[in-house]
Each structure stands twice: as structure tokens, then as C-alpha cells.
Amino acid sequence: MGEEGAGGTVHLLCLAATSGVPLFCRSSRGGVPARQQLPFSVIGSLNGVHMFGQNLEVQLSSARTEDTTVVWKIFHESITLIVLSSEEGTSELRLQRLLQMVFGAMVLIVGLEELTNIRNVERLKKELRASYCLIDSFLGDSELIGDLTQCVDCVVPPDGTLLQEALSGFAEAAGTAFGSLVVSGRVVAATEGWWRLGMPEAVLLPWLVGLLPPQAARDYPLYLPHGSPAVPHRLLTLTLLPGLELCLLCGPRPPLGQLEPQLLERWWEPLLDPLRACLPLAPRALPAGFPLHADVLGLLLLHLELRRCLFTVEPSGDKEPSPEQRRRLLRNFYTLVTGTHFPPEPAPPEEKVEEVAPKALLPRACYLVLGPEEPGAGWRLVALQSGPRRLLLLLSPQSPSHALRGLATRTLHALTPLL
């Protein structure tokens, strides 16, 4: 299993589906945005072979060459997205979800109407520039994983109940049911209304807030790709502490100026210490002192029904591999187990997996050893499925293979009350 992103190049192409006119091209190399552009002849060939297949009623969705994977997808018969990746170990699942997130980001910024009824190509190109920052972050090496898992990146604050009560009260006083606390793109707490947001906006909104330049307050117009793709909403953000932002999703009201300092002081000044305790959670996700086995180098816990996840590579941060390598290993392992062993999400009640296959055939755990086969060598990766929860662990070479499932089971039991 290769290290996704290590030295490879990713090209993302966006074209008008009917005319084939390029709307934009974004690239990254080694996880860093790059200015390298594909020649127009290559863009035309990639779009042409896809259209040729359509004319023959053949749906071309992906292709592989010796060193590159290509995935095509048309959205609403109006926008064609094509992604080419030469990253080692990349998967079609990862690229398919990348295209879904990219189109969601486009709708978030310009709205679905502008994308499905293109009246002026040059104007649309200019409007789409506002989405480049968000789109480029999906092509690079992010500390978040919601773009791949389609679950919201969360953290677990020490005083979650106090923050939840204050957030609900503040949102009610502001006249909205949609509020959240976000630290570096991860949700600390959210109202019930916020958690009911559909995909992909549930992932995109905190991700976008984590990317925006620091500001004391914002009034940001946007669309909800699932909930309101044609009617814009307003995202109000207020910085409580550097890196920690209060987010409200509103209609025409309230005006940003109505959220007076007195209202902020009433709800949040008494909670300065719990708020400060949230700041270190950005890379760590778990509260300080949470008991984890010394062999755990990184973990990903998914709650597939709630669509939330905890992701961290901070445990034992002084050991090899580096945090960047740990994230790549866990992302690659996620695509492997999701595409090969475990279903991506629980099946609908009317199509339960148990009715299709005997229960004994459903995988519950798997593991992988990377590197030399000698005892005590090679990173350990183990995945465990239990009900709606799925746990992926990256473990040190010292962890014996025969003990992986027991360690993963104990870790899952410890984490279950948190998510």
C-alpha cells in the first residue's frame, strides 16, 4: 500500500458538459498547489473520449495507465469533472469522492442554477475563482479527513455539556437553529439543527471556516448543495478566541450588527477557560490525558449513522513516521478497507446486508503490515467494525500481530462514549 500524495501529481479539470469549454484547471504536486497546467490538446482528448463513449451509450467512469488513474463524472448533465492522479497508491474511491466534494464546493459558492444553466461562460469562470481555495485544499495534504470519509471532523472538548448549552442558548437568542463551534475546521459542538444538515454541506461548512483568513466577524453568502442549492443563506462567524469560531447559518436575519458584544459577553465570557481548552484539540481531537495504548500512532473513528469522525495522528508524536506520513497511511488504509472489506455505510433498513449474505460472511476486522516481514518490523494497520462504528488504528512495529484485534477492541470500547 503506497503513501498517497508522496511526490505524485493531481490534475483537476472542470468543463462545460455540452460545449467542452474548460472552466478551470487546478493542480497539486506532492500535496502542494502547483501552477502546472495540462495542454489543451490533452484536455480535449480526455473530454473527447468520454463523449465518444456516451454517444455509443457506454459510460466511461475511470481508466488506468501505467502510472496514472483517471476518473470522469458529469453532474446534472451540465458540468464535467475529470481528475488525473499519479500519486502512488491512489484509489478510484478517493478520486470519486474528491469529485463529489469539488462539485459540492462549486455549488456552495455560486449556486446550482449558475452551474446547470450556463448563460455566460466567462462570468461563471470569474465567479468560480472564489471556490479555488476550498478546491485546492481537497487536492493537497489536509489535516482533516471528512473529504474522504464524508463524515464531519469533530473534536471532544473536556467541558462539552457546558459548551453545548451555551451554544444552544446563544443560537436561540440570535434567532437561528443552526449553530456550531469550530476549531481549525473541526466541530467542537453544534446545535441539533446543525447536525441535521445534509451532505456535503455538513463537511464543507466547517472545512471552509477553517480555511478563511482570520477575521473578528464575517457575513458570508453561500448555498447549501443538499438543503438549499438555489436559495442563498448567510454564514455568520464570530471569533471567540484565535482559531476558535462561533458559526451561525441564517436567512436574511439577524444582521451581523445585531450580535452585539453584550450578547457575546453574556453567553461566552463565563466560559473562557472551557473555550481555551478547545484550542489544543485541533490536531489532537481527544481530551488531554485520554488513555491510549503506547503503540497507537494514529486513529480514525467513524460513526457511520451520525456521519461524524475523530481523526488524529498526534499520539506518540515523537516517533516515526511523521504526522504527514501517518495521515497518508490511514487515508490509504481507509480506502482499502472501505472499497474491499467493509461497506461504505450502513445499508437502508429495507436492504439490510444481513438479508443478502449470511451474517458470518460479514467482515468484522482486518489488519495489514507494511514493510519487512521480520518480527518487530513494519507498521501495523488494523480496522474493526462494530455496529455503526468503524475504528482504524496505525500502530508501531513493536505491536505483535496476534494482539492487534484485542488492542483495537479495547480502544474502541474506550472511545465509544465519545462518539
pLDDT top residue among 21 and 377: 21
Rounded percentage of the chain residues whose pLDDT exceeds 70: 92
Q: What pLDDT band is residue 351 in, cutting at 50, 70 and 90?
A: very low
pLDDT at 320: 82
Mean pLDDT confidence for 249-271: 84
Q: Which of helix, strand or coil describes residue 24?
A: strand
CATH class of the domain comprising 152-283: alpha beta
The hierarchical CATH code for the domain 9-141 is: 3.30.450.70
The pLDDT tens digits for 280-309 are: 998 899 988 898 999 999 999 999 999 999
Q: What pLDDT band is residue 10 in, cutting at 50, 70 and 90?
A: very high
Cα 196 to chain center, whole Å? 17
CB 99 within 8 A of CB 71: yes
Q: What pLDDT band is residue 391 in, cutting at 50, 70 and 90?
A: very high
The β-bridge partners of 24 are 14
Mean pLDDT confidence for 355-361: 51
Which CATH number among 3.30.450, 2.60.40, 1.10.10, 1.20.140 corresponds to the domain 291-418?
A: 3.30.450
Rounded percentage of the chain residues whose pLDDT exceeds 90: 65
395: amino acid identity, one letter: L
User: What pTM did the predictor assign?
Assistant: 0.91
Q: Give the burial class of 260: count Cβ atoms within 10 A of its Cβ; 0-12 exposed, 13-18 middle, 19 or more buried.
A: exposed
* Beta-sheet pairing, 152-153 with 308-312: parallel
Residue 89 has pLDDT above 90, yes or no: no
pLDDT at 266: 87
**Average per-residue pLDDT for the chain:** 89
d(CA 336, CA 90): 10
1: cell is 500500500
Mean pLDDT confidence for 161-187: 94
The pLDDT tens digits for 200-237 are: 999 999 999 999 999 999 999 999 999 999 999 999 99
pLDDT at 373: 62
Give me the residue spans of the domains in the chain: 9-141, 152-283, 291-418
Mean pLDDT confidence for 149-154: 96
Domains 152-283 and 291-418 share a fold: yes
Q: Give the burial class of 359: count Cβ atoms within 10 A of its Cβ; 0-12 exposed, 13-18 middle, 19 or more buried.
A: exposed
Residue 358 has pLDDT above 90, yes or no: no
244, containing H or E segment: strand 244-250
141: cell is 495534504
Q: What pLDDT band is residue 102 in, cutting at 50, 70 and 90?
A: very high
Residue 121 has pLDDT above 50, yes or no: yes
| Alpha-carbon distances of 273 from 53, 241, 269, 288, 386, rounded to whole Å | 60, 11, 9, 15, 36
